[in-house]
Structure 1
Amino acid sequence: MKTIVIGAGAIGLSSAYYLRKAGHEVTVIDAGQPGAKASGHNAGWVVPSMSTPVPAPGMMPQALRWMLRKDSPLYVSPSISPKYLGFMLQMLRNCTTARFEAGLEVLSHLSRETLQLFDDMAADGVSFEAHNDPLTMLYTSASNLDKHAAELETMEGHIEDFKWRLLEGSDLAREVPGTVPQLAGGLQTYGDRSLDPASLTQGLTAACRRDGVEFRLGRRARLRSATHGSVTVEVGQEALSADKVVVAAGAWTNEILAGIGSSIALASGKGYGYDLPLQPDGPQHPMYLAEAKVAITPLNSKVRIAGTMGFGKGTNERISRVRAEGLLKSLPAYFTQWPSLPTPAEPWTGLRPMTPDGLPIIGPLPKHHDVLIATGHAMLGVSLAPPTGRLIAELAVGEASSRHLSSLAADRFKL
């Protein structure tokens, strides 16, 4: 069976990896290099403990309150586009406790084997930098701490070998030296990991090439309608045909689908980050600053700081330095001091593909069953890449058995 994968991010590469293992003849097409977009610009976390939907009770009202703050961690850009407004209205409808808990169950189920799948990839020769240090989440608000602790209790019931503990007082000061005394406390999880996302996409690319996957990079792909309801993939002047087409183009997925008159409920969520130099008095383990929504990831060659969630129309990759600098300005609320930077840091940005209910879209297009969609993972693209890739391979051969397929279906939203 011949399959074309459009998109060489973590999701597309994982899909190509598992499709090739299943015996498919696979071609990966991308306008850029592997991992050049959001797959290379993220916190690098594999986090079953944070596999929760973005739409949560109180999320949208908070984003609207912060709309006028140029450095806020969560914001909604105003637009009069009917499609954009419709998307935001659907997201608002999903900001209920019942829908959040339902989404939490789906993401917990999807996450439960991701650590083992990463281990299996590594055993198969997929090379990437990974760390098993516990993740510490810091809170300035006691109510936010209690809320997340309740979510972790739910996660513990769904994910094998996942553990967590509460950090207060001397325990917190010992685990995270230099925190401000006003903190409400912290939560520490065991069973989460961190990795260098660029090394992951490089490792997957190398493994796919080793196994015989063809890559066509630097060329933009478009879907075009063909005879009898089938589709072709247009690359330059060439029209390619395949038994299955996987569209894993992240925030750009609808641009790919436009050629066949299709679209899915998808918007971009802009994140920012910095790669800072390693310093002896810098952070040694991954941390999450809960209210600031900032992730801190120490890696072998740098410390990555990532965060913010900005909803906007289209795929705007322009960098707002004020917005990015909000990440650095949030640090004093959690730490008594932070290592000084020898030179001003340069920010980067990445667009996360967002759906109205915070769950990914994994499955066939309703009118084109040979086109499989794999996108909408929000901030969990790296974390959920292996289980998504495996599920895509199962769907391609008609053997998928997940009980949550309807919750991941492409047609679950009204456009």
Structure 2
Amino acid sequence: MSGVERIGDGPRSVIVVGAGIVGLSTAWFLQEHGVQVDVVDRGGIAAGASWGNAGWIAPGLTIPLNEPSVLRYGLRSLVNPAAPLHIPAGVDPGLWAFLARFAANCRWSSWTRAVRANLPLNDECIEAFEALTAGGVDAPLVRAPITAAFRTPRQAEGLLRELRRLGEAGQRVEHGTLSGARLAEHVPLASGALQAGVRIDGQRYVDPGRFVHALGEAVMARGATVHAFEVSGVRGDGGRVTVRSPHGTTLSADAVVLATGAWLPRLASRWGVRVPLRAGRGYSFTVPVDRPVPGPIYLPDVRVACTPYQGALRVAGTMEFRDPDAPLVPARLEAIIASVRPLLEGVRWAERTDEWVGPRPVTSDGRPLIGAVREPGIYVAGGHGMWGLAHGPVTGRLLAEQIVTGKQPDALREFDPLR
């Protein structure tokens, strides 16, 4: 443990429920304040959305989902089973209620509010990762631009408009346009179908599974215990908070952080958290490639992200609104491959491995849920959508500050879970 002096009368012990990037980052920064931490997760470290995502630390591309054009795109996707956005047919009143609230927030005022709320997280997200690696998290943080590639310059103009709109809201993004040999230099796998590109500078990426496992090992080396059981209930009682499993296992501490990703409503709804949250499941797999890949590739037209991964290429895509515990749907992987195959060459699609699906927690208003709830000593952290990896460490640092000081940082006001 760091040995940093304790601030005031803050909690001496905290249980963090959830061993993904958000929960483990919160645990690590609590340890920086001298707090004793226990971590609980039913599946172990990085068992949810933290393992198989694209691994981008990309403040320049944290574009909120609730852009007005997404609503029009979503309506078209309902009749296309191969679309990157997939909503299974069937009667799920909770899902349709969520989608109605999400649609109501697909307007520029809500989108701009989410962009501005994200500004402090974006400003500090890379620094928070660097604090972890400097403090003993043994996993590399790789600096590289992200190259968005398009069939035509006209398609590229769509992303350029988004970047200009981000700039108008306060999020400055260093970027430049690419074509011809310059595009091929950044995307050696580009087929002849890709004719234009946008280079997003100043970004980072990681091997997400390796990074989160290294973070878990660092948290344990600093004195935390990781417990493998499902938490079915949380109870506050006389200044202590207790978590329990369905089989009667209990742990108690001065405070509890619920960082359970797409499963957050199962524990948090009874404590006054009313912002709808659903699992927007993403898929990924790994494929061998015939040429080295110098950095991440973004294919906005088909909503696919590609990242150098262990000498191969991780391909990630799809936003599928389905139960977080539902099994992988092979047709979603085939849809990703069909959409990307004409755009990239030198990819051995038939040799893919590491097929994966993970639930990303998506809120109806595009802003995560971070902070205290109605019951003293209980906090939540989740709902980051596609940007949970990028914003996990800075979320953990800010929430740890709130827990030990009792004061909500200004950067967390827009993410109040009781809004």
Are 2:281 and 1:270 equivalent residues in the alignment?
Answer: yes
Query: Which residue of structure 1 aligns with residue 126 of structure 2?
Result: 115
What SS does the corresponding residue of 1:212 show, helix, strand or coil? Answer: coil
Shift of 1:179: 3.1
Q: Distance in 2 between matches of 1:309 and 1:247?
A: 24
Letter in 1 for 2:360: R
Q: 1:283 aligns with which of 289, 293, 302?
A: 293
Q: Deviations over 1:366-386 (max 9, x none)?
A: x21321110001111110111
Specify the SS of the correspondent of 1:306: strand
The 1:381–1:280 alpha-carbon spacing in structure 2 relative to 1, beyond 3 Å, is same
The alpha carbon displacement at 1:170 in A equals: 4.1
Judging changes above 3 Å, is the alpha-carbon distance between structure 1 residues 150 and 69 closer, same or farther for their aligned structure 2 residues? closer
Give the deviation of 1:181 after TM superposition: 4.6
Q: How does 1:14-413 map to 2 (within 5 A)?
A: 14-140=25-151, 142=153, 144-153=155-164, 158=170, 163-177=174-188, 179-183=190-194, 185-217=196-228, 219-227=229-237, 231-235=241-245, 236-257=247-268, 264-277=275-288, 279-281=289-291, 283-312=293-322, 314-335=323-344, 337-341=345-349, 343=351, 345=353, 347-365=355-373, 367-398=374-405, 400=407, 402-412=409-419
Deviations 1:288-327 (A, max 9, x none): 0001111110123432100110123x32431111111111
Residues 368 and 10 (structure 1), Cα distance of their counterparts in 2 relative to 1, 3 Å cut: same
Q: Give a deviation string over 1:144-169, Cα, whole Å, max 9, x none.
A: 53242244346568568x52111134
| AA of the residue aligned to 1:247 | L
Structure 2, gaps ≥5 residues long: 1-11
* Cα separation, 1, equivalents of 2:325 and 2:314: 22
The AA in structure 2 aligned to 1:256 is L
Query: Conserved in 1, the CA contact under 8 Å of 2:233 and 2:267?
Result: yes
TM-score when normalising by structure 1: 0.90
> Which residue identity lines up with residue 272 of structure 1 in the other structure?
Y
Quote how far apart the aligned CAs of 1:85 are: 2.0
Q: Aligned in 2, Cα 1:261/1:381: closer, same or farther, shift over 3 Å?
A: closer
Cα distance in structure 1, aligned partners of 2:272 and 2:241 = 11
2:187–2:297: 8 Å Cα contact kept in structure 1?
no
**Structure 1 segments unaligned to the other structure (5+ residues):** none
Q: 2:5 maps to what in 1?
A: none
Quick one: structure 1 residues 229 and 208, their matched pair in 2 at CA, closer, same or farther if it must change by over 3 Å?
A: closer
Q: CA deviation at 1:177?
A: 3.7
Q: Which amino acid aligns with 2:404?
A: V
Deviations 1:269-291 (A, max 9, x none): 011111123x3425332100001
Residue 7 (structure 2) aligns with: none
Aligned CA RMSD, in angstroms, stands at 2.5
Deviation of 1:22 (Å): 1.0
Structure-1 separation of matches of 2:325 and 2:236:
31
Q: Is the 8 A contact 1:269 1:354 kept in 2?
A: yes
The DSSP-based 3-state class of the residue aligned with 1:291 is helix
Secondary structure of the structure 2 residue equivalent to 1:221: coil
Q: Aligned pairs, how many? A: 406
Q: Are the equivalent residues in 2 in contact too, given 1:16–1:208 (CA < 8 A)? A: yes
1:8 aligns with 2:19: yes
Hey, what's the Cα distance between the residues in 2 that align with 1:233 and 1:263?
21
Distance 1:142 1:74, change over 3 A: farther
Separation in 2 of the partners of 1:21 and 1:361?
23
Alpha-carbon distance between aligned partners in 1 of 2:342 and 2:367, rounded to the nearest angstrom: 31
Instruction: Report the identity percentage.
Output: 29
2:271–2:375: 8 Å Cα contact kept in structure 1? no
